[in-house]
Chain A
Amino acid sequence: MTVSVERGIQTLKEHIDAPVASFFTTCVHCGMCADACLFYTETKDPKYTPIYKLKPMRRLWHQEYTFWGKLAAKLGLSKPVTAAELKEWEELVYDSCTMCGRCSMTCPVGNDIVYMIRKMREGMVAAGFAPEGLKAATKRAITIGSPMGVKLPALKNQIKHIETDTGLTIPVDVNGAEYMALLSSMEIMNFPEYIGAIAKIFHSAGISWTLASDAFEATNSGIQIGSSDLAAELVARVVAAAERLKVAYVISPECGHAYMALRWEGPNLIGRPFSFKVIHILELLDQLRAQNRLPVTGKIKEKLTLHDPCQIVRRGGVVDEPRRLLDMVAADFEEMEDHGVMNWCCGGGGGVSANERASKLKLTAFNRKRHQLEALGVNTLITACANCRITLEEGLEFNNMDVVVLGLAETLAEHLEQQTSSSATTATQ
């Protein structure tokens, strides 16, 4: 056994806590989690059953924490977890799991399977088994500051364009601002309209905000690959900037894993509570709505639906906010059959979209969303995660589907009351 595999197994052991032990003890191998996983439902391959993806970790738990398992291991009667097995499981743990957590909602005995996948990834990456695409993204995040390699000059360039388009100033490094906004690289490069949207809304609402030149990136590849050390390093950069600028809030952008990384894992990763609050952009927009600081005009008349980003909704708890916000600007908003905390993932979360090897499987998994959209017969899909958005657009294009994907913040900005631009008119037609 190599040193790295030993390290991986040791890491896995260290991650077996009371919840994990209770989950493995209680699993009755009923297989109901299979029906909750889009990688199983769209392929019918039993190996994609969520709990099966944890088989090496389960055996390790059995050998370390059960009477018969310990006895059998001492007598040499049980098979140790090997490098070959971990290598084989790499595809199951990374390519065929977006960490969407739908399986955790359906297990009859209550197993939080994605809680364990997150831990399994810690062991996998410590043992050296992770997809090359995700390794490269993580390396770029650590060395450059962005998983897509986006540097400050690129952001500044986008800011210049947005300032020209909107006539507003995008504040950078403003000491004492109330809010510090974060962005995902995907937003900077693919959907810069998000930056313009929040600038317009914040200007309209009179919000004091800023970007940080040394910590504008919100996505956290460390969480996706499963390395707490690297994830902590990325969170620490945001914390340092927020504390330097003395902001009261840090705004997580329209990105699912960014919210998970900062809001729910962040303080645990750096080992102390934050001195500021983390708020998702949808939570903030909903607060503005409640305070009548988000005046909108006109409604989109055509039927549309909402794609729930898993990490924001099911794993993050921001469930009703996007619905209340969408109701402000949509005349015919219809939910998909499975929505909210029971939504189906886009297929690209959890690092899958950064893993080129998984692209074919990701497109197969997209069929679940395709069926949902076809059942509704909509041509407009709203979401609140840049990674979901790019995955959805890719899937729609692959399937030649005529559906437009829009970000929720940008849709709201287009309907801001004081705005008289032609874009709002176009959207309401």
Chain B
Amino acid sequence: MTSVELLIWVRGPGLQLSLAAFILGMTYRILQTYFLGRAKNLAEPRGSEWVHGIKTIWWRSFFHPGMTVRGYFTIISGYMFHLGFIVTLLFFDQHIELFKSWTGLSWPALPPIVITVTAVLGIAALVAVLVDRFADPVRYLLSDYQDYLCWTLTVLPLVTGLLLAYKIWLPYTSLLTVHIISFELLLVAIPFTKLSHVFTIFIARWYNGAIAGYRGVQS
């Protein structure tokens, strides 16, 4: 298989397969969690599960009172790399072209220099959280192989995309192949690793808020 043939496979069937794994895997993960169920609460409620569940989904997105340096760092760096990743993914003109070829939908792209900034900010935030994971005794103790695997899988599409945009390192075709593969690996990994938090975070926050809300506490 030539490098061009590999690229064609990677951006065609390869991407479709990884998307299928992502969608089916994530559906399975969510359904599996849901069907574990929970016991019906027989205590007389004091508040609404739904209202507090929804409120908690919203309020846990922000700083909370009494937050320490660790907390501020977590929230700020978290927003930086999540936003850096998402903006780069959704507003780079060539990505939009790809979405358009699949769905027919398109939207305005951001200028390449802005995308460079979002990608660099995303990478910088990811490097910062990795350094902190080693430097902070609490995070270091909590970390397992998945933390490092997920970090690698998240940073690779950003780094390879940046190299591709500025034509650094490998020939364009090879680099594009590596870039797409890195994204496909990320897609496939999401349902089977802690990266699935991109979806389950809403379930976890809802349960937290619902448990507290049932007792009349805003969590």
Contact = CB atoms under 8 A, between A and B. Distances in A.
Interface of A: 16-23, 25-32, 34-36, 40, 46-47, 49, 51-52, 65-68, 104-112, 115, 263-268, 271-274, 277, 314-317, 319, 337-338, 341-342
Given A26-B197, A46-B137, A110-B207, A21 B44 contact: no
B211 A30 contact: no
Interface stretch (B87-95, B139-147, B162-170): B139-147
23 contacts: A23-B204, A25-B197, A25-B204, A31-B142, A36-B66, A40-B138, A46-B137, A49-B141, A104-B212, A105-B64, A107-B60, A109-B204, A109-B205, A110-B205, A111-B208, A112-B211, A265-B43, A267-B42, A267-B43, A268-B41, A268-B42, A316-B215, A317-B216
Nearest to B47: A317
Given A17-B38, A265-B43, A338-B66, A29 B204 contact: no
Nearest to B205: A110
B217 A110 contact: no
Q: Name, among A22, A25, A68, the residue most crowded by chain B CB atoms within 10 Å (CB to CB).
A: A22
Given A17-B38, A18-B38, A25-B200, A31 B217 contact: no
A352 B131 CA distance: 36
B192 interface: yes
Given A111-B204, A111-B208, A67 B33 contact: no
B141 A46 contact: yes
Contact of A29 (B36, B68, B139): B139
Given A17-B38, A26-B197, 13 more contacts: A26-B196, A26-B204, A29-B139, A31-B74, A51-B142, A67-B192, A68-B193, A107-B60, A108-B60, A109-B205, A264-B43, A267-B42, A341-B218
Contacts of A67: 25, 192
Contacts of B41: 268
Contacts of B219: 104-105, 112, 341
Contacts of B101: none
A183 B151 CA distance: 53
B46 interface: yes
B197 A28 contact: yes
A109 B197 CA distance: 8
Contacts of A19: 38, 204, 207, 211
A266 B142 CA distance: 34
The 8 A-B pairs with the shortest beta carbon distances in the complex, nearest first, are A110-B205, A317-B216, A267-B42, A31-B138, A29-B142, A19-B207, A26-B204, A110-B208
A56 to B, nearest CB: 14
Interface string B159-200: 000000000000000000000000000000000111011001
A201 B39 CA distance: 39
A44 to B, nearest CB: 8
Given A32-B71, A112-B207, A17 B39 contact: yes
A271 B40 CA distance: 10
A251 to B, nearest CB: 15
A35 B215 contact: no
B36 A315 contact: no
A110 to B, nearest CB: 3
A315 B214 CA distance: 10
A319 B39 CA distance: 26
Contact of A49 (B64, B142, B144, B193): B142
Q: Which residue, B66, B197, B216, B218, has most C-beta atoms of chain A within 10 A?
A: B66
Given A23-B204, A26-B203, A110-B56, A32 B197 contact: no
Interface in B27-73: 29, 32-39, 41-44, 46-47, 56-57, 60, 64-68, 70-71
Nearest to A61: B36
A46 to B, nearest CB: 4
Given A34-B138, A317-B47, A341-B217, A18 B201 contact: no
B42 A65 contact: no
A65 B39 contact: no
Most chain B beta-carbon neighbours within 10 Å: one of A26, A263, A316, A317: A26
Contact of A52 (B34, B35, B141, B207): B141
Given A26-B201, A112-B208, A35 B67 contact: yes
Contact of B207 (A23, A32, A263, A266): A23
